[in-house]
Amino acid sequence: MILLLSSKLMNIKYALSVSLTYQSTEPVSNFESSTHVPSLFIGIFFGSMLVMAIYNLLLYFSLKDKMYLFYVGIVLFNILTILAIHGISGEFFWSNNPELDRTIYITFAGISMFFSSRFAALYLDLKNRHKSLNKFMWGLAILSVLLSISSLLLSDKFVIPFGRWLVLLSFPSYIIVAAYAHKKGFKAAKYYLIAWIPYAIGLIIRTMHGADWLPTNQFVLSSIEIGGALEIVLLSLALAYRIKEIQEENSQMRNQLQNYISQVLSLEEKIDSSAKSDENLPEQKIAKIAQKHSLTERETDILLQIVLGLKNQQIADKLFISINTVKYHTRNIYEKLDVQKRTEITSRILFDN
């Protein structure tokens, strides 16, 4: 989930930091020389990313939750973005056109940002909890796709400012949306926010370095990778919490279903028992209730007709009395049986011993 954001910013911010912080459109090769990260750091970073991608893919096969599939897409395109930023993809995938790395990283970054937006929406359950925020996330996702498309068709003069604007819009949006979801009672959003912290710190460090506020050293140059690696660890805790939450919800649903089935079976047994036992025939049951609640003979007659489903006028016609007399005795029956409506009388007939 956070890698998703990591992917987004580590994509565009780390890559666009070339133009965000250095304000240039210099080749990626020049950027590489000023931000070179030793192969050990890159190896650890990519290794962690691949492990988490495989882990989440297995979770997807187990839980069938699209959230994990989006996460895998984020990780894969994040890796492609970083490879392009460091000029590695040009050496292995398009060696005949290594200059492609200068623009393709934005394409990959946009795709990763799309997955990031959809992942955040799914993780925070915005579709069910906050429909307007879900639409907003869809807006960011569409803009991310437009960024990828524009990187293939338009010049850097347009694409870089567009990417910079999109990063500045989406970066605080993810945090604000998650904070709002947490405020509204979605506990899992807390882990989403916590996982953002190390990456956000790394991003701030790189931005301050780009503004010449920090010296150049290995820690500063690797701050985003370090923050991303820590983010992966925290994200694993967030996913574990989500799995636990899903299991608890499933367990609660199973218990509720079992209780419901037990109640239905118990009700069926009572109904079967009342149908098979002479003592529980409506006439005999009514006689017992009449005796228990001191019903008069006329009230007992009317109660029997009510149980048989007759309406006031029908009862009056059958017993050769006025409808007002029926209503009068009916009110007395309600008071003596302590019921409010006719459906409650049926329940009393079945279950009042």
The answer to whether the 2-248 and 273-351 domains have the same CATH topology is: no
pLDDT of res. 138: 95
Q: Which of 229, 219, 113, 119 is nearest to 166 (CA)?
A: 113
Can you tell me whether residue 197 is helix, strand or coil? helix
Query: 280-305 burial by CB neighbour count: b if 16+ within 10 A, else e?
Result: beeeebbeebbeebebeeebbbbbbb
Q: What is the CATH number of domain 273-351?
A: 1.10.10.10
pLDDT of res. 21: 38
- For 2-248, the fitting CATH number among 1.10.3470, 1.20.1070, 2.60.40, 1.10.10 is 1.20.1070
Residues in the chain, overall count: 353
Place of tokens 């459109």: 25
pLDDT of res. 134: 93
pLDDT of res. 143: 95
Q: What CA–CA distance (Å, rounded) separates 103 from 108? A: 9
Per-residue tokens: 195: 């996982």
Q: What CA–CA distance (Å, rounded) separates 270 from 280? A: 10
Per-residue tokens: 21: 């912080």
CA dihedral 107, 113, 119, 125 (to 10 degrees): -140
Q: Are 232 and 52 in contact (CB under 8 A)?
A: yes
Please report, for the chain, the start and end positions of each structural domain, with discontinuous segments joined by +.
Answer: 2-248, 273-351
List, for the chain, all residue ranges whose pLDDT scores fall below the cut of 70.
1-42, 207, 232, 236, 239, 272-282, 346-353
pLDDT of res. 28: 42
Q: Are 41 and 222 in contact (CB under 8 A)?
A: yes
**Taking the CB of residue 324, how many other CB atoms lie within 10 A of it?**
10
pLDDT of res. 349: 65
pLDDT of res. 15: 46
Q: What CA–CA distance (Å, rounded) separates 126 from 181? A: 8
User: pTM higher than 0.85 for the full model?
Assistant: no
